[in-house]
Structure formats: structure tokens, C-alpha cells
């Protein structure tokens, strides 16, 4: 029998220490250490998964060409936005972690996925949080009458695995991983040891049986999935369900994906009938725009393969502090500081004594410099109290010299802007070469330097 050992485990990153310590040396969180007892084998969960993949066979390396892929066997969820975020449907044998704030709609999303999975597929919904009655009432509200949906109210992971072996479902949902426990581990459900062990067991099962498993994980108040880093490494895909609870819009984002791009997002709107797909996110992100107000500019960014139009807002006010504030939501703050410096140096904008606030409307985080031009112009527009032409869409990266640089896939962005009714499109001159002909009412305005932009839109 293995020796009972206690150790202190950081609940945030899984770092272990023989003594209690106040601050984790690994992830710098405070007060995150909890004493845990463990008698489990100390095998690393990833090693466990890999061993499972071998399925007990004798060890012999195989040629790459002898290994088949099962890309074609992907299961569609019937929700286009969801399939896209997964990289084209559910991959057999994959384990997907779905994280998100409490009440954001994780269980709803999973339940709706069940409706979409082809009627012949059996789905097992393991609920450690809600009673079968509660699940039934949600399913009725969402209009789900799938007779191939099986509910199991269970928190013992070993019983869950037994049920999976007996029933051999096509898809399994575990709601949530924080409620699952393995009896042989003495720490409480939700602790890092339990979460890690249960996920590793599910991983082993998924790889061995080829059954895809969705695991719901709660996000702690610091914005991380409990036992976060350890889990992110074990699973194949991490999806984050985001949004403000007070707003109806929800964004499903792939944070990690072994079977697809992590740039893809799915956009949904929460209604009383559940989540509705938003096929055209640009309309959503621009829906609350006030035209003719200074400090607002529209740009086209790429979210994965899709162009999305977004509104950039800037507020420039006289600062009452000796060092003015620069607050940026949804864009890189260092990049914004650079844009402010370029405006000061190249256009002579007087911003040194101003507080500057930047906001990307709709709660998106933009990480591509193609939004530079819109941000710079929004700042200038608010400072000068002049509204930007409401039919203008500004696309372009700005360099330190004030030059407007080419952006990738400009044609796709311009096409989206035209589709949404924008008639005046400012874009980098270098992108004009690849631009197809546009209708006569549309003006494409190629620019090479930021000082050309001001006259065209303000
Ligand atoms: N009767 C209802 N009518 C309309 N919307 C509802 C109704 N019941 C729930 N909702 C919506 O569903 C959301 C909760 O969804 P869900 O239970 O799927 O979230 P969750 O992320 O699984 O939450 P938890 O963290 O508690 O498991 C609520 O915030 C609310 O917006
Ligand atoms: Mg839930």
C-alpha cells in the first residue's frame, strides 16, 4: 500500500509544497495553498493520457504513414457557431473544457448541443450540480425532446466511467468537473488534486473509447478555471464562454485547440428560448452606435476567418492629475500609448495634459493592429469635438513615422464594410493593388500617411 502523504497544493496552478506558503512562487497568487492528502499514484496526468492512447498494447513505434486520421468522423453539433469554434465539429476521442463565469449559460449551451447532435447519437449528460428535474425543466424550456439523451446525477467519477462503459454513448457531458471526485483521493471535490485526477481519468476514457467528452469548468473570481493551468495542459480544447451577464450577447472563444484554430469565435444571444446564434456579429457590435458623436470610429477586424466590424470609442478629457490617465479596454494599452505619441509627434495633437479612455464596444478584445487607424482617429475626433463621417470605415496599421501600413486580407474587410452599408472606406495604399472593383457609390480612399486621413473623415 502506498504511503499516505499530505502536501500543500496551490489551487490556482497546482504547484506543490511540503509546507504552507502564503504566496505561490509559480503563479504569484496569495493564500492559494490548501493541504491535500493523496494516496493516488503520482503518475503525471498527461502521461496517463498517453498511456491510455496506447491501449495496453506492447510498445512499438509506428510509421506516421500507418496512422489514420479521423477528421472525417467529426460530429456536427448542429450549431454553426459552435462547430466553427471547435474547428469543424466534435472530434472523436477529444476532451473539451468549457469554462465561463457562473450563470453565463454553459449548461444551456451543452443542452442545446444535445439537440443538434444527430438524432441517432446517444448523449450522456452527467450532472453533479443539478437534479434530473432541473435538467428536464431546462430541456423543456429549450424545446429539447431528444429521446437519446440520458441523464446521470452522479459525482463519483468511477461510477461515471462505469456508466460510460456500459452505455457507450456517442458524446458525454460532465457538468461540472468541480463537483466530481474520486473516492481514493481524500481531498475535497473541486480541489486541484481531485479536478486533475478526474480530468485525467476522463481523458484516459476518451482516448481509449473514442468518445468525445465535454467538461464544464467554473471560472474562479480571478477569471481562471479552477485548477486552471493543470487542466489546460491535459485537455485537447479549452473553450471560454464570455459575456456580461447584464448583456444578452455571449462569445464562445477557443483558448486552446488541438484540432483547429484558436482565432475562431462563436457569437450568441441569450433569450428565454436559450442561446440564439448570431450569424452576423458586425450588426450586433454596431447596433448601439451613435452616429454623429465625436470619438467614435468603425473598423473591420478579423476574428479567425471572419471579418467583424467594430466600433472604437475614445474619450479625451482635460486631466486633473499631474500624470494623465490612459485607460484602454479591449485593445493593447502599449499600442494605444504608441498611437497617442504618433498623434502628438506627427499631427501635433495636444494630448500631453489629457486623460484618454479607449473602449471597444461590445466587449471584444482586439489583438490586431489593423484597428490602429480607427483608434487614432477616434482619439483625434474626440479631442477636436468633430464627428467622424458616419459612413466611413477605417482600416490600417500605423507605424512610428505615422505611415499607414498594409493589413492582411483587406479585400475581405472591405467587402464586409460594404455589406453593412459603409460607403467611404479608408484603407492603406499598399492594399489597393489587391482590391477588386467596387460599386460606383462606394469610395475607396487609399492613404499612405496619417496626415492624409484627417482631411478625409473629419
Ligand atoms: N426561465 C428563463 N428564461 C430566460 N432565461 C433564463 C431562464 N432561466 C435561465 N435563463 C438564462 O440562463 C442563464 C443560466 O444558464 P445556465 O444555467 O446554462 O448557466 P451556467 O453557466 O450553466 O450556470 P452555472 O454556473 O450556475 O452552472 C441565466 O443567467 C439566464 O440568463
Ligand atoms: Mg450550469
- Of 151 and 290, the structure prediction assigns the larger pLDDT to 151
Residues 265 and 395 in one domain: no
Q: 245, 279, 313 — which closes off a domain?
A: 279
Any idea which of 25-39, 215-229, 253-267 has the lowest mean pLDDT? 215-229
Which numbered atom of ligand 1 lies nearest the CA of 111? 18
pLDDT band for 274, please (50, 70, 90 cuts): confident
Residues 375-381, mean pLDDT to the nearest whole number: 96
**Cα of 251 vs its chain's centroid, Å:** 7
d(CA 194, CA 226): 11
**Bridge partner list, 44:** none
The confidence score (pLDDT) of residue 166 equals 93
Higher pLDDT, 163 or 81: 163
**Are 324 and 254 within one domain?**
no
Is residue 442 one of the residues assigned to a domain? yes
Higher pLDDT, residue 431 or 64: 431
Read off the CATH number of the domain in which 361 is found. 3.30.230.10
Q: Is the preceding peptide bond at 430 cis, omega within 30 degrees of 0?
A: no
- Does residue 222 have a pLDDT over 70? no
Residue 243 CA to ligand 1 centre (angstroms): 13
Examine residue 64 and state whether it is found in any structural domain, yes or no.
no
More confident residue, 414 or 3: 414
Is residue 156 scored above 90 in pLDDT? Answer: yes
**How many angstroms separate the CA atoms of 445 and 454, rounded?**
12
> Nearest C-alpha to atom 8 of ligand 1 is from which residue?
272
> Is the same domain home to 270 and 296?
no
Measured CA to CA in angstroms, residue 249 lies from 281, 299, 359 at distances of: 10, 20, 17
What does the pLDDT read at residue 36? 79
As for ligand 1, residues whose beta carbon falls within 6 Å of it are 100, 102-108, 129, 141, 245, 270, 272
Instruction: Identify whether residues 361 and 275 lie together within a single domain.
Output: no
d(CA 346, CA 123): 61
Grid cell locating 334? 502599449
Q: Residue 102 has what pLDDT?
A: 84
pLDDT computed for residue 42 by the predictor: 46
Kind and range of the H or E element at 315? strand 306-318
Atom of ligand 1 nearest to the CA of 176: 27
Ligand 1 centroid–CA 258 distance in Å is 29
Q: Mean pLDDT over residues 227-250, rounded?
A: 78
- Does position 39 have pLDDT exceeding 60, yes or no? no
Q: Please tell me the distance from the alpha carbon of residue 430 to that of residue 7, in angstroms, as a whole number.
A: 60
Instruction: State how far the Cα of 194 lies from the Cα of 64, in Å rounded to an integer.
Output: 35
Contact between residue 194 and residue 38 where contact means Cβ atoms under 8 Å apart:
no
The ligand that comes nearest to the alpha carbon of residue 139 is: 1
Q: Which of 127-141, 213-227, 338-352 is least confident? A: 213-227
Would 66 be classed as within a structural domain? no
The C-alpha atoms of residue 387 and residue 389 are separated, in whole angstroms, by 6
**Does pLDDT of 195 surpass 70?**
yes
Residue 113 has pLDDT above 50, yes or no: yes
pLDDT of residue 194 exceeding 70, the answer is yes
For ligand 1, mutation pick of 102, 107, 142 (most atoms within 8 Å of CB): 107
pLDDT at 439 over 90: no
Domain that holds residue 341: 284-457
245 Cα nearest atom in ligand 1: 29
In a domain, residue 156? The reply is: yes
Domain containing 113 — which CATH number? Answer: 3.40.50.300
Mean pLDDT of 240-250: 77
Span from the CA of 245 to the centroid of ligand 1 (angstroms): 10
pLDDT at 56: 55
pLDDT at residue 364 is higher than 80: no
Angle at CA of residue 298, ends 262 and 292, nearest 5°: 155
Phi, psi of 100 (to 5 degrees): 170, 160
- Residue 294 CA to residue 307 CA, distance in Å, equals 25
H-run or E-run covering 381: helix 372-384
Determine the angle formed by the axes of helices 192-209 and 157-167, rounding to 10 degrees. Answer: 10
The pLDDT of residue 46 is above 70 = no
Amino acid at each position: 500500500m502506498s504511503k499516505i502523504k499530505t502536501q500543500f497544493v496551490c489551487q490556482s496552478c497546482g504547484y506543490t509544497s511540503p509546507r504552507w506558503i502564503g504566496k505561490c512562487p509559480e503563479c504569484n497568487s496569495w493564500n492559494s495553498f490548501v493541504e491535500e492528502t493523496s494516496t493516488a499514484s503520482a503518475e503525471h496526468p498527461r502521461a496517463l493520457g498517453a498511456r491510455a492512447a496506447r491501449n495496453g498494447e506492447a510498445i512499438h513505434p509506428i510509421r506516421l504513414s500507418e496512422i489514420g486520421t479521423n477528421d472525417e468522423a467529426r460530429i456536427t453539433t448542429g450549431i454553426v457557431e459552435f462547430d466553427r469554434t471547435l474547428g469543424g465539429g466534435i472530434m472523436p476521442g477529444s476532451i473539451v473544457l468549457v469554462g465561463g463565469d457562473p450563470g453565463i449559460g454553459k449548461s444551456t449551451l451543452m443542452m442545446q448541443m444535445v439537440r443538434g447532435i444527430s438524432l441517432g447519437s446517444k448523449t450522456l449528460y452527467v450532472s453533479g450540480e443539478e437534479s434530473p428535474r432541473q435538467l428536464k425543466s431546462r430541456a423543456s424550456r429549450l424545446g429539447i425532446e431528444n429521446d437519446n439523451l440520458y441523464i446521470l446525477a452522479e459525482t463519483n467519477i468511477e461510477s461515471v466511467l462505469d456508466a460510460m462503459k456500459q452505455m457507450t454513448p456517442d458524446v458525454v457531458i460532465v457538468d461540472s468537473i468541480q463537483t466530481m471526485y474520486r473516492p481514493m483521493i481524500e481531498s475535497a471535490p473541486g480541489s486541484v488534486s481531485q479536478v486533475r485526477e478526474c480530468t485525467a481519468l476522463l481523458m484516459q476514457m476518451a482516448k481509449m473509447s473514442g468518445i468525445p467528452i465535454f467538461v464544464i469548468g467554473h471560472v474562479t473570481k480571478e477569471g481562471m478555471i479552477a485548477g486552471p493551468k493543470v487542466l489546460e495542459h491535459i485537455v485537447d480544447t479549452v473553450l471560454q464562454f464570455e459575456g456580461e451577464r447584464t448583456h444578452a450577447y455571449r462569445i464562445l472563444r477557443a483558448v486552446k485547440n488541438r484540432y483547429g484554430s484558436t482565432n475562431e469565435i462563436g457569437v450568441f444571444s441569450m433569450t428565454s428560448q436559450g442561446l440564439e446564434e448570431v450569424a452576423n456579429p458586425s450588426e450586433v457590435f454596431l447596433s448601439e452606435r451613435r452616429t454623429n458623436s465625436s470619438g467614435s470610429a468603425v473598423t473591420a477586424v478579423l476574428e479567425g476567418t471572419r471579418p467583424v466590424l467594430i466600433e472604437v470609442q475614445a474619450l479625451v478629457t482635460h486631466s486633473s492629475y499631474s500624470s494623465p490617465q490612459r485607460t484602454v479596454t479591449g485593445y493593447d494599452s502599449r499600442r494605444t500609448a504608441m498611437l497617442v505619441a504618433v498623434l502628438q509627434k506627427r499631427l501635433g495633437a495636444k494630448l500631453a495634459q489629457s486623460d484618454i479612455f479607449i473602449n471597444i464596444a461590445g466587449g471584444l478584445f482586439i489583438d490586431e493592429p489593423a484597428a490602429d487607424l480607427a483608434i487614432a482617429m477616434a482619439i483625434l475626433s474626440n479631442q477636436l469635438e468633430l464627428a467622424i463621417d458616419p459612413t466611413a470605415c477605417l482600416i490600417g496599421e500605423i507605424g512610428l513615422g505615422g505611415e499607414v501600413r498594409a493589413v492582411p486580407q483587406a479585400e475581405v474587410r472591405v467587402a464586409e464594410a460594404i455589406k453593412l452599408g459603409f460607403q467611404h472606406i479608408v484603407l492603406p495604399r499598399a492594399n489597393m493593388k489587391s482590391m477588386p472593383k467596387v460599386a460606383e457609390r462606394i469610395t475607396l480612399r487609399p492613404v499612405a500617411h496619417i496626415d492624409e486621413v484627417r482631411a478625409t473623415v473629419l
